[in-house]
Every structure is written in C-alpha cells, then in structure tokens.
C-alpha cells in the first residue's frame, strides 16, 4: 500500500527538542521530493520545510528557520524533521507529504500522512 | 512573499454549485492546486494543475484559473463535500516556494 506514516510527536516543554519521522512505503521514496506541513489547532495549513529528492534543495519557512532541520534517508525510505528550541506557537499537527511536479516544475502534493501532534507546553 | 486569499466560508444547498475562490497577484500565471480536508483527517488533493483531477476524484470537482483569481467549482454538491478547502501554488522565484491559502470552510446547508 502506498502510504506515509508520521511518528515522534508528543508533549515537550518550551525550549525542548523533538525529532519527527515519516516512513514511506509502496513507492520509490528516493524519486520524490517531500515536505512538512503543520496545522495549529483550528487553523489552516502552514508549509514548514521542503527537501528535494536528491537533497539538492532545502527550504524553510521563516517561522522555523534556524530551529528546525529537514533531512531524509533514502535507504530507509524515511523523512525527518529535527525540531529544536520549540515554542508554544509550534504546537500543531505535523504532516509529511509527497511532492509531484507539473510540466513547469512546480510542486504539488498528492500523498499525505495522517499527521503527528506536537504540543509545546510547560 | 506571495499571498493567496480565500473567503473564510462558503455555504450552498445540496444539489447546487459551490464556487470557492483563491485570489493572488497574477495568479493566472501560476498553476493552482486544491486540497480538501475533512475534520480530523489529512488533506486530500482534489484538483492539480489548475483543472486536472487525480484518479478517484469525482468529475463534480473542477478548477479554473485566470488573471488574479483561481476557482474551485463543485457541482451537484453533496453533504459529504462539507470540508475545508485550501488552494496552493509554487512560488518558484522565492525561498518560500510553497504557499497555501488560508482555507475556506464549505458548509452544505
């Protein structure tokens, strides 16, 4: 079955760290770029970070730049998000998603995981 | 950075047509993608490349994009279409390439 499964969420104190994982199965993970998207309670979707298939391109939202690090292990078909210096405003469900490209090279996202909840609170 | 503007809510009676807009500066020059998200679930791609549908998405879902507005149209709306809908573009000239609209809550009356 083609799927993405996130893990690693939980309750953490402000200033703490968490590492999220996204396990891919049913497709050739190394061929796809990937992203992390988060959704705060009752809010919309917010792009967090992107990584290309070859790790040649990595981007971060301003809200997480310098604190979060995206990475991937193509041999393990896994995507990661290392989150440091966590803040209460980082509280959200974090989704990983698979990127597809249009003929003009623009990304869209055709496969999403169910998400993992990160709660930052003292 | 590039901004996408959606109405917070749209209401429609069953069987009618719902139109959800996504505004952006010269958005017609970009390709727009749409996602449906039901409560407690992950987003699902319903339209990509302005007007294409992934397999398994009903023909009732269609999209258009011109000038400064992209539109997701849902024909013959059903109760099961009630959800949040998000538009998305790729701002290729930016260090923040993935942009989502704020989302629109579709209510089926």
pLDDT at residue A56, rounded to an integer = 77
The mean-pLDDT minimum among A11-15, A81-85, B1-5 falls in: B1-5
pLDDT at residue B92, rounded to an integer = 72
pLDDT of A41 higher than 80: yes
Is residue A43 packed enough to be buried (19+ CB in 10 Å), middle (13-18) or exposed (0-12)? Answer: exposed
pLDDT of A55 higher than 80: no
Average of per-residue pLDDT across A35-63: 93
Q: Do B42 and A115 touch (CB under 8 A)?
A: yes
Average per-residue pLDDT for chain A: 96
Is residue B7 packed enough to be buried (19+ CB in 10 Å), middle (13-18) or exposed (0-12)? Answer: middle
| Confidence band of A118 (pLDDT split at 50, 70, 90) | very high
CA distance B43 to A45: 9
pLDDT at residue A33, rounded to an integer = 95
For chain A, say whether B34 makes contact (Cβ under 8 Å).
Answer: no
Nearest Cβ partner of A112 from B42, B49, B103? B42
- Report the phi/psi class of residue B50: left, alpha or beta, with left for phi > 0 and alpha for psi in -120 to 50: left
Would you state the torsion angle of the CA atoms of residues B65, A58, A53, A94, taken in this order, to the nearest 10 degrees?
-70
Average of per-residue pLDDT across A68-87: 97
pLDDT tens digits, one per residue of B53-84: 999 999 999 999 999 999 999 999 999 999 99
For chain B, say whether A100 makes contact (Cβ under 8 Å).
Answer: yes
Phi, psi angle pair for A59, to nearest 5°? -135, 150
pLDDT tens digits, one per residue of A21-40: 999 999 999 999 999 999 99
For chain B, say whether A65 makes contact (Cβ under 8 Å).
Answer: no
């Amino acid at each position: 079955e083609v799927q993405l499964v996130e893990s690693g969420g939980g309750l953490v104190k402000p200033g703490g760290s968490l590492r999220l994982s996204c396990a891919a199965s049913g497709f050739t993970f190394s061929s796809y770029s990937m992203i992390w998207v988060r959704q705060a309670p009752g809010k919309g979707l917010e792009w967090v970070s992107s990584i290309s298939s070859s790790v040649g391109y990595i981007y971060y939202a301003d809200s997480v730049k310098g604190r979060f690090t995206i990475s991937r292990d193509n041999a393990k078909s896994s995507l990661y998000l290392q989150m440091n210096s966590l803040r209460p405003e980082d509280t959200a469900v974090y989704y990983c998603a698979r990127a597809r490209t249009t003929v003009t090279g623009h990304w869209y996202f055709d496969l999403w995981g169910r998400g993992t909840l990160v709660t930052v609170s003292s | 950075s590039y901004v996408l503007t959606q109405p917070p809510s749209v209401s429609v009676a069953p069987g009618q047509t719902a139109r959800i807009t996504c505004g952006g500066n010269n958005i017609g020059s970009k390709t727009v993608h749409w996602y449906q998200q039901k409560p407690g679930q992950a987003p699902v791609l319903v339209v990509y490349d302005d007007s294409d549908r992934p397999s398994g998405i009903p023909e009732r879902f269609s999209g258009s994009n011109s000038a400064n507005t992209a539109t997701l149209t849902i024909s013959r709306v059903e109760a099961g279409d009630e959800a949040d809908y998000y538009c998305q573009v790729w701002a290729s000239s930016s260090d923040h390439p993935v942009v989502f609209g704020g989302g629109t809550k579709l209510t089926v009356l």
